[in-house]
Amino acid sequence: MSKLSEDKNSEAVANLVDSALSYAGLILIPGLIGGTILGNRILRIYGPDFEQATAVLSILISACLLQAYQAQLTNTLNAINRPELSFRINAVFIVANVILNVVLIYFHGWVGAAVATALSVAISLIVGYVTLSSIVQFSVPFGEIGRQWLASGLMGIVVYTGLRIESTYLHIGHNLAIVLALVILGAGVYFFALLTISTRFRATVVDNLPARFTPSL
């Protein structure tokens, strides 16, 4: 990207930004859906005292998702030799995080701290988008991101159904085994759903598979 920027090839830089944003949430989007559904069960692995932090877990995963997109924008600014702008975006995050933590922790405790982090990242993401878009004319790949959400939604339905069946009829009782089984099931559903509905993801998978596996795809 640095070389392309030096060569004034803004179109190629924009294409790289598009690709980066397309895959920034590839794991975190289903992670957010799965973490919200299974958060209580996941935290139960560490002990009953951790279960009260279920809401905090979902909020922090949301913050990580937003940060993944924000990081792509700041990395791009660094790559095109504009580190001062990247620094300003990170400074906005730090200032917003401090202010929001002081306010929200006072009213809402540790949930407020998690919300403050998520809001701070969201603010820095918006600032990052406005800053980079004023330099590089790129488009946000809403279609690809939407397909990731769609596949994650299908995964969520399957995982939630499996969880309800276990808690209502099976009563297996081994929490770790249930969580692992549902995570593996969910990951499989998400992968194959996205592979089916996303031509771009399918092409990426094929391009990265050994040649002997690609003829059938």
The model's pLDDT over 105-127, given as tens digits with 9 standing for 90+, comes to 988 898 999 999 999 999 999 99
Residue 75 pLDDT greater than 80, yes or no: yes
Residue 188 pLDDT greater than 70, yes or no: yes
Q: How many CB atoms lie within 10 A of CB 4?
A: 17
Which percentage of the chain shows pLDDT scores above 90? 71
Consecutive H or E run containing 120: helix 83-133
pLDDT digits (tens, 9 = 90+) for 21-55: 999 999 999 999 999 999 999 999 888 888 788 88
CA distance 162 to 178: 9
Location of structure tokens 């990731």: 148
CA nearest neighbour of 187 among 33, 46, 78:
33
Q: Would the pTM count as exceeding 0.95?
A: no
CA nearest neighbour of 131 among 95, 62, 78, 94:
78
pLDDT band at 213 (very low <50, low <70, confident <90, very high): low
Kindly list the domain boundaries of the chain, sorted by start residue: 2-213
Two structure tokens written together for 136: 């590089």
